[in-house]
Amino acid sequence: MSDVDAEPAVPVRRRLSAQDRRRQLVGIGLAMIVEKPIQDLSLDDVAAEAGISRGLLFHYFPTKTDFYLACIAAAGRRMLRNTAPDPTLPPEEQVVATTRRMVEQIERRRGFYLALVHGHAVADPRVGEVMESVRDVSTERVVAALGVPERQRDVVRAWWAYTEDRALTWSAVPTGERPVPVSVLVAECVAALHALLALRP
C-alpha cells in the first residue's frame, strides 16, 4: 500500500507526570488571569483547556484556593524574572533597570498587582507571603548592586513599597494624561532611594 493510501496516524496522547500536570494547569491559569481577575477564574475552563475533568484538577490541587495560590506564586516568580537586571551593567544602571521593569510590570498588570498587595484576590495569608518574597528579592538586588550596608536594608525595602505606590498611582491615570513619562517617574524613584540612604548613612 502506498503512503498516499495509508490512514493518517492518530496522535498519541502523552500521559503527564503529576508535576508536569500541575505545571500545565498553573500555566493555563496564569494565561487566563492576564485577561480577568483571579477570583473570576473558572476551574471548569482551566480543566477544559487542559483536557481533563474538573474532578481530576482537584486531584492535583485539593481546593480552589490551593490552585489560586499556586497561580499567584507562579505570577510572583514571573514578576521577579521579568524585573531582574542585567548583572553585567554598572550598579546604578542595574537599579534603574530593575526599577523601570517593576514599574512597567505594575502598569501592565495593575489590577492583579493591587489584588496581590491588598490581598483581595484570595482570602489567605499565604498571598501576603508571595508579595513579601517579591519585595525581599527586589530588595536584595538593590542591596547587592549598590553595596548597601546591612543596617540600611530596611530603608531599601521601604523604598520599594514607595516605588510600588508611585507606580500604582501613575498607572491609574490614562496614558495620554500622565504628568510624567515612565523615564521621569523611574528617575524620581531612584533619586528618592539615594536621598533616603543619605539620611541614614
Crossing angle of the two packed helices 182-199 and 91-108, in degrees rounded to 10: 130
The whole-number pLDDT of residue 32 equals 84
Q: In whole angstroms, what is the distance from residue 53 CA to residue 46 CA?
A: 9
User: Please, what are the averages of pLDDT over each run of 10 residues along the chain (201 residues)?
Assistant: 43 69 92 74 91 92 89 88 94 97 91 68 70 91 96 96 95 93 98 94 69
**In whole angstroms, how far apart are CA 55 and each of 43, 146, 149?**
10, 50, 52
The whole-number pLDDT of residue 121 equals 55
The whole-number pLDDT of residue 75 equals 85
Domain contains 5 = no
**In whole angstroms, how far apart are CA 48 and each of 20, 33, 44, 52, 110?**
17, 16, 6, 6, 28
| pTM score of the predicted model | 0.80
Domain contains 153 = yes
The whole-number pLDDT of residue 69 equals 86
Domain contains 68 = yes
Domain contains 8 = no
Domain contains 190 = yes
Domain with 31, as residue range(s), is: 18-199
Total length of the chain = 201
Domain contains 110 = yes
Residue among 189, 105, 181, 63 at smallest CA distance from 114: 105
Q: In whole angstroms, what is the distance from residue 193 CA to residue 171 CA?
A: 20
Domain contains 119 = yes
Domain count across the chain: 1
Domain contains 120 = yes
Whose cell is 524574572? That residue is 81
- The CATH number that applies at residue 157 is 1.10.357.10
